[in-house]
Amino acid sequence: MSRIHACLVEALPEGEALRLDTNPVVALFHIGGEFYAINDRCSHGNASMSEGYLEDDATVECPLHAASFCLKTGKALCLPATTHLQTYPVTVADGSVFIDLPEER
């Protein structure tokens, strides 16, 4: 795993998302005082999850096809998506948000 600095805590307000042009591309969400990182690309279609509709129950809805995903597990919660999204460990330390991403091969 490779730990990257995603942003400062205050740079991502509650209820917002941030797209990170990393490899893989990641969507970082701030909801309920927690930060969650998932693969930014919807598993059903070519949509950025960082542009999705964030719900208070830590789910995000795809902006194109209304598929919902759990931010905690990446699980696809409804059709048309049937494939889960990859999640990534998030750490908050010293006012910064860090994400652990797999090493590039």
pTM of the model: 0.94
Per-residue b or e along 2-38, where b marks 16 or more CB atoms closer than 10 Å to that residue's CB = eeeebbeeeebeeeebbebebeeebbbbbbeeebbbb
CATH of domain 2-101: 2.102.10.10
The per-residue pLDDT for 46 is 85
The per-residue pLDDT for 105 is 56
Render pLDDT for 55-77 as a digit per residue (tens, 0 to 9).
Answer: 999 999 999 999 999 999 999 99
For the chain, residues with pLDDT lower than 50 are none
Domain borders along the chain are: 2-101
